[in-house]
Amino acid sequence: MGGHREDATDAALLRAVAGGDSAAMAALYDRHAGWLHTRLTRRCDDPEVVREVLQDTFVTVWRSAATHRGEEAGGWLWTIAARRLVDARRVQERAERVEYAAPVPAPSAEDRVLAGLEYGDVGTALDRISPELREVLRATVVDGLTTRETARLLGIPEGTVKTRARRARAELRAALAHVNPSSASFLDPSLLGGTA
């Protein structure tokens, strides 16, 4: 695919990668490694694990590029990276249990908040809103991505990210009021990225 211009689609780059084109792989890496690193860092505070997961992600992409379906690769790449991160944490936890037999540390404040988002009233309310709105909230609020990073991840325009985020906040407040009316009153719009 010689040259691999910046405007080449993810799908075109992945087709070239599937054919063994290392320049296409480099272009894909340059396009996506930054936001993947940022997102992984928000989930893991060990820079070495983040580097290994990022490397494993792109090794997996090299080996399985032919299996990707679709135009944008952001969601597919994040799915691979998230799975690699879970695998890395499991390996770490297993090694710590075997090596130290130490008690599992108490979850961090961030882990408790994320668990509340996943399993508490907010998580239940999140499950009630449409998937395209939920994924925008997860990217912008839970993962802390910018509008631009979210747009690239989800393969949608930045304006669409802003519109969906606004609709998602309104729908989440309504869903939370339905799940637990007392919880909806504490849900300050600033907790969900403001009003815009």
What sections of the chain are H helices per DSSP? 10-18, 22-43, 47-64, 74-100, 109-119, 121-128, 131-137, 147-154, 158-179, 181-184
Mean pLDDT of 165-193: 68
Query: Residues in the chain, how many?
Result: 196
The answer to whether residues 154 and 140 touch, using CB atoms and an 8 Å cutoff, is no
pLDDT of 107 strictly over 70: no
> Tell me, what's the pLDDT at 103?
56
- Is the confidence at residue 184, as pLDDT, over 90? no
Segment 48-78, tens digit of pLDDT: 999 999 999 999 999 999 888 876 788 889 9
pLDDT above 50 for 95:
yes
- What percent of the chain stands above pLDDT 90? 33
Question: By percentage, how much of the chain surpasses pLDDT 70?
Answer: 72
Going by C-beta distance under 8 Å and a sequence separation of 6 or more, which residues neighbour residue 40? Answer: 50, 53, 54, 81, 85
Whether the pLDDT of residue 195 is over 70: the answer is no
Tokens matching residue 120: 């508490």
Average pLDDT, the chain: 79
